[in-house]
Amino acid sequence: MNVDILNPSSIAIIGASTNPKKISTVILQNLISGGFNGKVYPVNPKYEEVLGRKSYPDILSIKEDIDQVCIVIPAHIVEEVVDQCIEKKVKSVVIISAGFKETGKEGKVLEENIAKKLKEANIRLIGPNSLGYINNIDNINLSFARKNTGKGNIAFISQSGAFCTAILDMACEDDFGFSHMVSIGNKADIFENELIELFDNDSNTSAIALYIEEFSDGKEFVKLAQKSKKPIIVIAPGSSEKAKEAISSHTGALASSYDTITTAISKANTILSESSVELYELMKFVSSNRIPKGKKVAVITNAGGPGIIATDNIEKYDLILSELGEKTTKKLFSVLPDAASVKNPIDLLGDALADRYDQAISFCENDNEVDSILVILTPQLITDIVGTAEKIVKIKNKTSKPIFVCFLGNHDIKNGVDLLKEYNVYTSNNIEATIKIIGKLVKYNENTIKSDIVEVKDIKTSSKYIRDVKDCLTSEMVILPDDITENILKEHDIPIPQQIITPHIENAIEFSVNRFPVVIKATSKDLAHKTDFKAVYLDIRTISEFETKFYELRESISKVTGITSPDILVQEMIVGNAEVFIGANREGDSQIYEDEGKGFGHLIAIGQGGIYTEIHKDIKHILIPTSREDMLQALDNTKLSIVINGFRGKPKLAKEKLLDMLENIQRMLISYPQIITMDINPVMLTEDKVVAVDVKLYIKD
Amino acid sequence: MNVDILNPSSIAIIGASTNPKKISTVILQNLISGGFNGKVYPVNPKYEEVLGRKSYPDILSIKEDIDQVCIVIPAHIVEEVVDQCIEKKVKSVVIISAGFKETGKEGKVLEENIAKKLKEANIRLIGPNSLGYINNIDNINLSFARKNTGKGNIAFISQSGAFCTAILDMACEDDFGFSHMVSIGNKADIFENELIELFDNDSNTSAIALYIEEFSDGKEFVKLAQKSKKPIIVIAPGSSEKAKEAISSHTGALASSYDTITTAISKANTILSESSVELYELMKFVSSNRIPKGKKVAVITNAGGPGIIATDNIEKYDLILSELGEKTTKKLFSVLPDAASVKNPIDLLGDALADRYDQAISFCENDNEVDSILVILTPQLITDIVGTAEKIVKIKNKTSKPIFVCFLGNHDIKNGVDLLKEYNVYTSNNIEATIKIIGKLVKYNENTIKSDIVEVKDIKTSSKYIRDVKDCLTSEMVILPDDITENILKEHDIPIPQQIITPHIENAIEFSVNRFPVVIKATSKDLAHKTDFKAVYLDIRTISEFETKFYELRESISKVTGITSPDILVQEMIVGNAEVFIGANREGDSQIYEDEGKGFGHLIAIGQGGIYTEIHKDIKHILIPTSREDMLQALDNTKLSIVINGFRGKPKLAKEKLLDMLENIQRMLISYPQIITMDINPVMLTEDKVVAVDVKLYIKD
């Protein structure tokens, strides 16, 4: 995207009027009072003049070229203006008006028409259903926000305009600013990814924040975020079933599954925020502080109780209470009173004045065992609140170690807190929330030194049976027949039990006789969805037992399907030391891995198999394409890995072979993107082999 | 406790001086300016007069009787004053001074001496290491808090004085008040339980809040809280290992295990808060609102995005998004614009003024499908912030349905928020935190209609082998020999496999011959702590196999223990459809169930057994004594219960028999409180029976 879209040299505002309460007027007002130094053209046939400027009946009446047109008129007359924009050859359009995709079918068609026309004319579009945008670097406020802030270094991209207004209202109170804020609305053209790329390369922006209900191109988003040089903070509501319904009625978007979003956000190494307040706090912190380099936190407090609360939360959020160096302890010992605690959490005692804080913070700042410092103050009798704040500000200005401050209270602490805020010191009255934020920042930093980014083109594909697969595609999801499944699995070196599919008992017995014990099953094709049907006989050990079971199974299949001589699947029986589940789901259509394919692609799930899959839900997710290392990490995060790694004197299982299988499954899924769902349960894992015993592949276009 | 302790008619303050920065002076000042209408006696030999009042050299020089003495002098001279208090026959003492148990051994002895002397003299004690107390009902502020609030209806009991000051500082800003605030410090005499009982019966108090690092008498606390007529809100930091260390250096307390605390707090049906801010918010809410009667929440918003955040969190915190009644939907439809959402979350749209809020809230208030109402406002262009707040206040004053308000922002919303606060409407800028609070309140309410409270005296005990058990007690924890364990288990009808303990192979074979398959093991006595020793042979099916294994086991036991003919345990082998783990730990000493026994008693753990016990940690806890119903609830909260209840067509297992076993175990533990740890893994569960296969009982005094 060209940066000009957020920095046009001239803007026409369609619908601008003299009514100060109208959105169009507010936008014009914001633009002018914000100090925009390009040309501004109010367009409204009803007026000769608006806010002291000549008003035009339409854009075609304006003689000069126009860079950008901002449309603030009812939805049903927007298309007409869009046609004029095309005729006028403007460069970009911002549609503020609501009444499009978010209102239903009719609105969706209208929106698609407009977007298509603009695209063909090579005109970029922000919106519709947008609050507009603010570019504080170039003094452009083309929004109807009631407030704007000063310049800052955070770029905020939001799918919700109201969310922008709430964040702006918080920021105003704190003198906290943004470089840009873009309300992308229904995202008919420009969506988050282009803006992320833009801001990642913008020297005025040091971090990017996102409010996203639906990722327009998940695969691309992950790649962009992985490559980003700046922290990206994301709030992505809409994970619950009910929320998905609400989103759909609100922006017409189709939300991704919770598993996909959380896996994607983690893979993309963004900082995931769980509430608007947390998003805001994270923005504030990253805007003026370095990110902690590690998990070790020193806690300095003037009261024992809050120190204990901090200690609990440091454990809860996977951080480490620093073991202070001997030097630090000695120095603390030499300056603090006897009753003070020189161990972390450092308790300066209730009569601590600013000097004790000053000393303790300075000592910790110089201790290599400390990655970040949490300063806690309770307003006790002689506590020097402002004095302590002053000391903290001084140290903050010269240290590279992040300092987090919790002054507990609200009334007496106010002057101290105001001072801290003025100098961009992170401050909160909530110890737990603060430590949660430290935890998120540390995790972000840990992941920043990333392994190589794997792209689809890096994966060696093979799709000899693509014709067979495509022949099976229908408009609905269908199960792939066992023989094609077998071919595809073998093509990708995914071990399955030795097996035969035959309607003839002689062939079946010939196969089985040297392989007992065996298993017999109905084939997927015949009985895929009949889960209550007894379609599997395990552990058959003799020919006579085999005959009995074979006829029994044949009869019951015939009864249900009407086929007199159905195919029967006979497999050697594999006994594993552990049963593994490997599943996959595709998000996006089957063109997902091609250039224009949008969505997140396949999400592989791995965890404990057998009946406990559903009971313990010990499942971790892998968003492909990815590296073997990431697969290992997901596997190691399952509890199953405790068994695989050898538990309580039991042998280690064939972990490397399981990883081979995961890599092969990745190749298979990318080779056959028609696979929409894969279900392998169980994969049998022994000390030296791994076998996919029961594989079901479902396809859809 | 006599209420007089917080409402004395006369108070002497030891150490009061003319130095306005000294704690003693501040206390005197607070007492006088707070409006105490009893007699006040400054005591300090250095002065003739303090703050315009005659100062006495010591309390014995005061002619009148003294109700309460407040001691604010260095720790080492406190005992002397205590002696004088005894001589003077005062009724109660408040020791503000620090320097006791929290500083180590010496301080602990000093504290214990003082407490003992006072107890013998029948004088009650608050502290030491206390901020003092505030009784706003009778205008007594005997504390050195820098701030006090107006009267309120929450009683706050805190083990941390600094925590009191932080909460007071928050409350001052909000004009939020307390009935009482007691800083119990080191709790040498008066601790939380007595105060809970007191405030539960105090008509000026409607809810009780607690900051507790260590429960002085857990069993009693649970009983009191279960019986309490008022909500009890608890913050109980110190669950992490590191925090336990910190607590010990801070108040000298020994913290309970995390499992015990959380189980106790849940059984006691208190509202557990996880941060100081949350504690404060909960206090504010319960002080002036009814608690939601159920899970169903209606969300009213002027923006889609925040509505989605709310929806996500309603699911996350186990609440239900109300399915609005048809009547409500129709009424909403008739007054809201077309583009609005009349489904929950109700989206009033960005141009909503106060009237739309007013109507929507009123409709929801009259809908039986709504238990509480969450009102969200974002400050959009024409949003009527104060007007909306006014409407909410009006409805709040006449409705019995709880209303929670989230105005998102900070600057423009301020006037609205201030108005809401003035009228005690719950307001927050954090949707997630608010919904979390609703979740906690709803859970509290659900549990309030409690099953009968079970007390130790309700349990039928039996302890025929108490002599044998007591004979085994040493100063260390020891394992109870298998034969005594067997006797005790049989005494309490806890089924174990048929078994024999013998050193003679002939006897062993005689036992086994009609019972194959059998299991042979070393006895607990010999090899309890040798976990790497192969001490179990499973599934022995023939006499010759038996002989081989018997000799093998005997030889290896001999090698380790030196006993040439060791006892061997032979059991019938039980194959279960599920393996269950049942464990127990005692907190408190073995007098725990007697009158003076302090601690929480036994905590039973139940969950999946076998090797997966440690892997999945699918364990729930039961604090005894309790009802079968509560045991069932704990069991049903394990994932194991999915298997027990019959999963995927598998048979249901003998759940009632498992509950019988739990009840019998409860009887056994109360009959033999010497049992400090119990470990049964596995308990084999089949369709019709339950057998405790491997039982280890450890005892300690």
**Nearest residue to A360 via CA among A347, A350, A351, A371:** A347
> Shortest Cα distance from A581 to chain B (angstroms)?
16
Chain A contacts of B165, Cβ < 8 Å? 378-380, 409
Ramachandran angles phi, psi of A226, nearest 5°: -60, -35
- As a residue count, chain A comes to 701
- A448 pLDDT higher than 80: no
Residue A419's alpha-carbon distances to A334, A407, A408, A454, A650, in angstroms, are: 30, 12, 15, 47, 60
DSSP per-residue string spanning B563-609: -SS--EEEEE----SEEEEEEEEEES-TTTTSTT--S-EEEEEEEE-
Mean pLDDT of B496-512: 92
Closest CA to B419 of B440, B454, B446, B392: B392
Is pLDDT of B249 > 60? no
pLDDT (0 to 100) of residue B616: 87
Question: Beta-strand (E) ranges in A329-382?
Answer: 346-347, 372-377
**Pick among A168, A276, A417 to test the B interface (most B CBs inside 10 A):** A276
Q: Nearest by CB to A431, from B98, B276, B618: name it.
A: B276
Encode pLDDT of A196-211 as tens digits: 999 999 999 999 999 9
Whether A269 and B126 have beta carbons less than 8 Å apart is answered as no
Q: Average pLDDT for residues A638-666, to the nearest whole number?
A: 93
Least confident residue range of A250-264, B131-145, B291-305, B621-635: A250-264
Question: Strand, coil or helix: what is A393?
Answer: helix
Considering only CB atoms, A308 lies closest to which of B238, B380, B643, namely B238
Cβ within 8 Å of A, B 181-240: 211, 213, 235, 237-240
Name the phi and psi angles at B307, rounded to 5.
-65, -35
What is the pLDDT, as a whole number, of residue A246? Answer: 64
For residue B491, report the phi and psi dihedrals to the nearest 5 degrees: -55, -35
**Which helix H or strand E contains B679, and what residues bound it?**
strand B675-685
Q: Is B513 on the interface with A (CB under 8 A)?
A: no
Whether the per-residue pLDDT at A96 is higher than 50: the answer is yes
Asked if A308 and B246 come within 8 Å (Cβ–Cβ), the reply is yes
Closest CA to A438 of A538, A565, A320: A320
Question: Is the N-terminal amide bond of B673 cis, ω within 30° of 0?
Answer: no
Whether residue A62 is predicted with pLDDT greater than 70 in this model: the reply is yes
Q: Residue B253: what pLDDT?
A: 45
What's the pLDDT at A532? 54
pTM of the model: 0.90
Query: Chain B: residue nearest A246 by CA?
Result: B308
In angstroms, what separates the C-alpha of A214 from chain B's closest C-alpha? 11
Sequential DSSP letters for B311-366: HHHHHHTT-EE----HHHHHHHHHHS-TTSB-SSSEE--TT--HHHHHHHHHHHHT
Q: Chain A closest CA to B26's CA: distance in Å?
A: 8
Which residues from A are below 8 Å from B26, CB to CB? Answer: 381
Q: What share of chain A is helix, strand, coil (3-state, %, to 5)?
A: 40, 20, 40
Q: Are B69 and B93 within 8 A, CB to CB?
A: yes
Search chain A and give the residue with CA nearest B316: A240
Q: What are the respective helix, strand and coil percentages of chain B, to the nearest 5?
A: 40, 20, 40
Q: Which of A78-82, A322-326, B214-218, B320-324 has the lowest average pLDDT? A: B214-218
Average pLDDT over residues B682-697: 94
Residues of A in contact with B21 (CB under 8 A): 381-382
Q: Do A162 and B306 touch (CB under 8 A)?
A: yes
Q: Which of A145, A211, A412 sits opposite B305 (nearest CB)?
A: A211
pLDDT for A464 equals 97
Q: What is the pLDDT of residue B453?
A: 85
Q: At what angle do helices B543-561 and B505-512 cross, to 10 degrees?
A: 140
Non-local CB neighbours of B115 within 8 Å, separated by 6+ positions? B125, B188, B189
Burial code of A274-283, b = ≥16 C-beta within 10 A, e = fewer?
Answer: bbbbbbbbbb
B residues 237-256 lying closer than 8 A (beta carbon) to A: 237-243, 246-247, 249-251
Closest-CA residue of chain A to B406: A166
Mean pLDDT, residues B256-281 taken together: 89
Q: Which of A67-76, A516-525, B50-59, B511-520 has the lowest mean pLDDT?
A: A516-525
- Contact in structure between B37 and B11 (CB atoms under 8 Å): no
Query: Which residue of chain A is at minimal alpha-carbon distance from B251?
Result: A304
pLDDT > 60? residue A187: yes
- What is the rounded average pLDDT of the residues B317-344? 94
Segment A427-456 shows an average pLDDT of 89
Tell me the mean pLDDT in the region B160-179.
Answer: 93
Asked if the Cβ–Cβ distance from A616 to B611 is below 8 Å, we say no
Mean pLDDT of the B17-34 span: 92
What is the phi-psi region of residue A139: left when phi exceeds 0, alpha when psi lies from -120 to 50, beta otherwise? left
The CA distance from A332 to the nearest CA of chain B, in Å, is: 16
- Is B243 within 8 Å of A312 when comparing Cβ atoms? yes
pLDDT computed for residue A585 by the predictor: 93
The whole-number pLDDT of residue A442 equals: 96
Residue among A582, A546, A604 at smallest CA distance from A683: A582
Give residue for tokens 């909000």.
B174
Mention every residue, 6+ apart, whose C-beta is less than 8 A from residue B531. Answer: none
Tell me the CA distances in angstroms from B177 to B33, B203, B389, one per residue in order: 17, 15, 22
Q: What is the pLDDT of residue B613?
A: 84
Contact B242 A315 (CB under 8 A): yes
pLDDT for residue A253: 45
Give the residue-averaged pLDDT of A625-640. Answer: 94
Of B243, B321, B410, Cβ closest to residue A308: B243
pLDDT in tens, B120-152: 999 999 999 999 999 999 999 999 999 899 899
Query: Which whole-number Å values give the CA distances from A469 to A440, A492, A595, A671, in the listed order?
Result: 44, 15, 21, 11
CB contact under 8 A, A411 and B169: yes
Q: Kindly report the nearest CA distance between residue A674 and chain B, in angstroms.
A: 30
Q: Which pLDDT band, with edges at 50, 70 and 90, does A257 fall under?
A: confident
Q: Which residues of B touch A160 (CB under 8 A)?
A: 303-306
Question: In this structure, what token pair is assigned to residue A49?
Answer: 């003049």
Query: By mean pLDDT, which of A430-434, A564-568, B306-310, B487-491 is the weakest?
Result: A564-568
Question: Could you tell me if B70 and B102 are in contact, meaning their C-beta atoms sit under 8 angstroms apart?
Answer: no
- State yes or no: pLDDT of A135 exceeds 60: yes
Q: Which residues face A140 on adjacent strands?
A: A135
List Cβ neighbours of A601 (8 Å cut-off, separation of 6 or more). Answer: A218, A219, A586, A587, A588, A592, A593, A623, A624, A625
Question: CA B3 to CA B462: how far, in whole Å?
Answer: 41
Query: With 50 as the cut, is the pLDDT of residue B228 above it?
Result: yes
β-sheet bridge partners, residue A235? A211
ω into residue B345 within 30 of 0, thus cis?
Answer: yes
Residue of chain B nearest A278, judged by CA positions: B430
Mutation target for B interface from A295, A302, A308: give the one with most B CBs within 10 A: A308
Q: For residue A642, what is the nearest residue in chain B, using CA coordinates?
A: B615
Residues B216, B489: Cα–Cα separation, whole Å: 32
Q: Is the CB of B277 less than 8 angstroms away from the CB of A429? A: yes
Instruction: Please judge whether B98 and A243 are an interchain contact, meaning their C-beta atoms are less than 8 angstroms apart.
Output: no
Residues of chain B contacting A277 with CB distance shorter than 8 Å: 429-430, 432-433
| Interface check A431 vs B, CB under 8 A | yes
Name which of A258, A255, A276 is nearest A266 in CA terms.
Answer: A258
Beta bridge partner(s), residue A478? A699
What is the pLDDT, as a whole number, of residue A453?
A: 85
Q: Average model confidence (pLDDT) for chain A? A: 92
Which three-class secondary structure string do you get for A125-166? EECCCCCEEEECCCCEEEECCCCCCCEEEEEEEECCHHHHHH
From the list A145, A341, A615, which residue is nearest B249 (CB)? A341
Is B248 a residue whose pLDDT tops 80? no
Q: Which residues of A touch B250 (CB under 8 A)?
A: 304-305, 307-308, 341, 347
Query: Residue A244: is its pLDDT beyond 90?
Result: no
Name the band, by pLDDT with cuts 50, 70 and 90, for residue B525. low
B690 pLDDT exceeds 60? yes
Residue B162 has pLDDT above 90, yes or no: yes
CA distance B23 to B8: 20
Q: Does the pLDDT of residue B36 top 60, yes or no?
A: yes
- Please give the residue of chain B at the shortest CA–CA distance from A413: B169
Encode burial over A66-99: b for 16+ CB neighbours within 10 A, e otherwise: bbbbbbbbebeebeebbebbbebebbbbbbbbbb
Q: Which residue has the higher pLDDT, B173 or B285?
A: B285
Tell me the residues of chain B between 72 and 111 that have a Cβ less than 8 Å away from chain A: 98-99, 102-103
- Say yes or no for a CB contact (<8 Å) between A433 and B250: no
Instruction: For residue A469, name the pLDDT band (cuts at 50, 70, 90).
Output: very high
Strands A536-540 and A518-522: antiparallel
CA distance A681 to A578: 11
Long-range contacts of A354-360, Cβ-Cβ distance < 8 Å, separation of 24 or more: A354/A384, A354/A387, A354/A388, A354/A390, A354/A391, A355/A391, A356/A302, A357/A300, A357/A302, A357/A388, A357/A391, A357/A392, A358/A388, A358/A391, A358/A394, A358/A395, A359/A331, A359/A332, A359/A335, A360/A300, A360/A332, A360/A336
Tell me the residues of chain A between 628 and 647 that have a Cβ less than 8 Å away from chain B. Answer: 639, 642-643, 647
Q: How far apart are CA A489 and CA B37, in angstroms?
A: 89
Q: What is the 3-state secondary structure (H, E, C) of A601-644?
A: EEEEEEEECCCHHHHHCCEEEEECCCCHHHHHHHHHCCCHHHHH
CB contact under 8 A, B649 and A241: no
Q: Of chain A residues 528-547, which have a CB less than 8 A from chain B?
A: 532
Q: For all residues of chain B together, what is the average pLDDT?
A: 92
Average pLDDT over residues A425-443: 96
State pLDDT tens for residues B403-455: 999 999 999 999 999 999 999 999 999 999 999 999 999 999 988 766 578 99
Any chain B CB within 8 A of the CB of A147?
yes
pLDDT category, A479, cuts 50, 70, 90?
Answer: very high
Between β-strands B271-272 and B426-428, what pairing exists: parallel, antiparallel or unpaired? unpaired
Q: Which of B231, B164, B159, B223 lies closest to B200, judged by CA?
A: B231
Residue B254 has pLDDT above 80, yes or no: no
Helix (H, G, I), strand (E, B) or coil at A648: coil
Residues of B with CB below 8 A from A159's CB?
305
Q: How far apart are CA A418 and CA A413, in angstroms?
A: 9
One DSSP character per residue, B198-243 reads: HHHT-TT-SEEEEE-SS-SSHHHHHHHHHH-SS-EEEE----SHHH
| Region at A141 (left for phi over 0; alpha for psi -120 to 50; beta for the rest) | beta
Residue pair A493/A460 in contact (Cβ under 8 Å)? The answer is: no
The residues in B 448-487 lying below 8 A from A, measured between CB atoms, are none
- At residue A417 the predicted structure's pLDDT band, cuts being 50, 70 and 90, is very high
Contact list in A for residue B144 (CB cut-off 8 A) is 381
For an interface test with B, which of A186, A329, A615 has the most B Cβ atoms less than 10 Å from its Cβ? A615
- In chain B, what residues touch A19 (CB-CB under 8 Å)? none
Residue B665 banded pLDDT, cuts 50, 70, 90: very high
What pLDDT sits at residue A2? 56
pLDDT at B94 over 60: yes
Question: Residues A619-640: what's their mean pLDDT?
Answer: 94
Which of chain B's residues have a Cβ under 8 Å away from the Cβ of A410?
169-170, 172-174
Q: Is A353 on the interface with B (CB under 8 A)?
A: no
